[in-house]
């Protein structure tokens, strides 16, 4: 098997309005809401970096400029931390900075759907396979989901690889859902997919999670700008048309997923990340157990 081309670039769509989190998201992008002490979007960037991603393309919208600031130096703050010898805090700030020139921003000028958001990044990607990470889907686990997917991509010899997880039938209408084929461990052949099906039409209980490795040909499909579920240009529809042209797999990543676009999911993510952190886990466990002191 020839080695497939490496996955070096990732698209992070962050243009959504975050109306479910108003008033918190009136002036602050939902991707900047903290899970414990890091903005949601930073988890996705760290997961991508761990998977070997070198170029990060953010698809933003109006009012999202603080995401740009977050991934840049904050000279005054850095100088202050240095002066006060707050080395740990300074190191953590500097560690989270992407390398110069590795971050790009483009705008989705109209909210036409996820497929359209990804299409907006096409000139940054060019003609190579790339990753997409939806920061709302937060993965808690080591290694992160994208690294596990890159491993699967290399093992199967390329093509498209998406993340999937089982959800109850009552929730399945909220997601893209796959029709599974052959199963090999945690790697599942994808035979079809449908965006936000009614429960009775769902091909399985395997929902698409917001992690994708896609061939550049997906842009040709997205170019059609056909509207799908909810009147939006859906990434799922373009991916569906690649099945049969490219091999297509889903990975049930060994990690826990939290939907940070949902209030309860967001709170769960805070608890899960908190419990995974040695610095706060003991105190948090005490609180959760109902102990008063």
| Residues within the interface to ligand G1P (CB under 6 A) | 114, 134, 136-137, 175-176, 195, 207-210, 234-236
Closest residue by beta carbon to ligand G1P: 176
Kindly tell me which of 81 and 138 has the beta carbon lying closer to ligand G1P.
Answer: 138
Kindly tell me which of 47 and 137 has the beta carbon lying closer to ligand G1P.
Answer: 137
How far apart CA 25 and CA 32 sit, in angstroms, is 9
Other Cβ atoms within 10 Å of 146 Cβ, number: 30
Kindly tell me which of 31 and 136 has the beta carbon lying closer to ligand G1P.
Answer: 136
Contact 251, 148 (CB under 8 A): yes
Kindly tell me which of 134 and 251 has the beta carbon lying closer to ligand G1P.
Answer: 134
How far apart CA 265 and CA 192 sit, in angstroms, is 27
Contact 33, 39 (CB under 8 A): yes
- For 229, residues 6+ apart whose C-beta sits below 8 A from its C-beta are 195, 196, 236
275-to-57, 253, 279 alpha-carbon distances in Å: 31, 20, 9
> Least CB distance from residue 142 to ligand G1P, whole Å?
21
Kindly tell me which of 42 and 81 has the beta carbon lying closer to ligand G1P.
Answer: 42
How far apart CA 172 and CA 165 sit, in angstroms, is 11
Contact 235, 208 (CB under 8 A): no
Task: Please give the radius of gyration of the chain, using alpha carbons only, rounded to the nearest integer.
Answer: 19
Other Cβ atoms within 10 Å of 261 Cβ, number: 21
> Least CB distance from residue 196 to ligand G1P, whole Å?
7
Kindly tell me which of 140 and 209 has the beta carbon lying closer to ligand G1P.
Answer: 209
158-to-151, 247, 249, 264 alpha-carbon distances in Å: 10, 8, 10, 36
> Least CB distance from residue 128 to ligand G1P, whole Å?
23
Kindly tell me which of 175 and 219 has the beta carbon lying closer to ligand G1P.
Answer: 175
Pick the closest to residue 183 from 240, 255, 249 (CA basis): 249
> Least CB distance from residue 62 to ligand G1P, whole Å?
18
Q: Which two tokens stand for residue 166?
A: 């089982």
Kindly tell me which of 51 and 81 has the beta carbon lying closer to ligand G1P.
Answer: 51
> Least CB distance from residue 202 to ligand G1P, whole Å?
12
Residues in the chain: 293
> Least CB distance from residue 146 to ligand G1P, whole Å?
14
> Least CB distance from residue 57 to ligand G1P, whole Å?
18
> Least CB distance from residue 155 to ligand G1P, whole Å?
24
């Amino acid at each position: 098997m020839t080695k497939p081309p490496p996955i070096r670039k990732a698209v992070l769509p962050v243009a959504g309005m975050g109306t479910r989190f108003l008033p918190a998201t009136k002036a602050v992008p939902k991707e900047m809401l903290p899970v414990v002490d890091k903005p949601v979007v930073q988890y996705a960037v760290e997961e991508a970096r761990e998977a070997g991603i070198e170029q990060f393309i953010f698809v933003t919208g109006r009012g999202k400029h603080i995401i740009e600031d977050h991934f840049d130096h904050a000279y005054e703050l850095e100088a202050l931390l240095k002066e006060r010898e707050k080395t740990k805090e300074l190191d953590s700030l500097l560690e989270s900075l992407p390398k110069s020139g590795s971050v790009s921003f483009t705008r989705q000028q109209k909210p036409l759907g996820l497929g359209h958001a990804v299409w907006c990044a096409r000139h940054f990607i060019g003609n190579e396979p790339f990753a997409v990470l939806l920061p709302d889907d937060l993965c808690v686990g080591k290694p992160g989901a994208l690294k596990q997917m890159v491993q699967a991509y290399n093992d199967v010899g390329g093509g498209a690889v998406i993340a999937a997880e089982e959800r109850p039938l009552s929730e399945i209408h909220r997601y893209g859902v796959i029709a599974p084929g052959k199963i090999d461990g945690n790697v599942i052949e994808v035979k079809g997919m449908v965006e936000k099906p009614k429960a009775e039409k769902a091909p399985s209980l395997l929902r698409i999670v917001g992690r994708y490795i896609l061939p550049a040909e997906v842009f040709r499909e997205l170019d059609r700008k056909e509207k799908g579920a909810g009147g939006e240009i859906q990434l799922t529809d373009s991916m569906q048309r690649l099945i049969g042209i490219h091999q297509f797999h889903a990975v049930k990543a060994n990690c826990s997923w939290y939907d940070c676009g949902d209030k309860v999911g967001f709170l769960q993510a805070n608890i899960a990340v908190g419990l995974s952190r040695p610095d706060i886990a003991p105190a948090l466990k005490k609180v959760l157990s109902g102990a008063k002191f």
